[in-house]
Amino acid sequence: MAKLLIGLGIVLVIVGIIWLLFPSAFSWVGNLPGDVKHTSGNTKVYFPIVTMIVLSVIATIVLNLFSR
């Protein structure tokens, strides 16, 4: 469990550095076709359905690689 948490921390630090140096690298997050955005007056509703599916698939693959 400790190795998984350390690995996750390292991945988060790397993603943070990439995001800091290249802000447009993750511009696709939340803008995929299938993400629901609705604006009405002052109300904004956002459901990132496809983004969450993509992130879930990526997380599943990465966790399966580390668990073997």
- What's the pLDDT score for residue 62? 84
| Residue 17 within a domain | no
| Residue 31 within a domain | yes
- What's the pLDDT score for residue 43? 94
| Residue 45 within a domain | yes
- What's the pLDDT score for residue 13? 95
Annotate the chain with DSSP letters as a single string.
-HHHHHHHHHHHHHHHHHHHH-GGGGTTTT-STT-EEEEETTEEEEE-HHHHHHHHHHHHHHHHHHH-
- What's the pLDDT score for residue 14? 93
| Residue 60 within a domain | yes
Each residue's pLDDT, cut to its tens digit, for the chain (68 residues) gives 788 789 889 989 998 999 899 988 878 777 888 889 899 999 999 899 998 999 899 989 988 887 77
Domain that holds residue 42: 25-68
